[in-house]
Amino acid sequence: MLLTDIAVEHTLVSKKDGVHQTFLLHPFTNTQRDSLGKFEIVRDISEPGMKVVKRSAFVTFQQLAELYAKGVLDEFGFSVRMCPVQGTYPTANPVKKVLPSSIRPGSPFDLAVQKVDIAKPANRELRTALLRTNVKLSA
């Protein structure tokens, strides 16, 4: 499922011939077992020895809305795995930083973000998912 309430334009430049292709990308839900129906958020972290690696976690629609409402994605430098509407991206689906301004105002996702009680702590499932990315939210 595509979350079309969020849209980011992305231009891919071919390494072979320099041709520019522009795509309108949206977050999409995974189709694999444990992460079925969840969105992938990705973060670069520094490992010992200054090696930078990507770590990801899978979150539900409501958890993604909570992360936006609380500013967690921006604060910790998360990107979201995206794909085009056509579903035909020439390489691996990219991850993009998605600013709140990319959320369509008045959309179901925007309303879900607005309904989040930011004073309420994150639930255990969300905190556990974020630990995979070396982010620890207080209970």
Integer Cα distance of 58 and 126 in angstroms: 9
Provide the pLDDT for residue 87. Answer: 65
Integer Cα distance of 134 and 2 in angstroms: 27
Provide the pLDDT for residue 70. Answer: 94
Tokens at residue 12, please? 């891919």
Give 10-residue mean pLDDT values along the chain (139 residues). 90 84 90 87 85 92 96 94 82 88 95 95 93 83
Provide the pLDDT for residue 2. Answer: 87
If you compute the radius of gyration of the chain from its CA atoms, what whole number of angstroms results?
16
Cut 0.85: pTM above it: yes
Provide the pLDDT for residue 129. Answer: 92
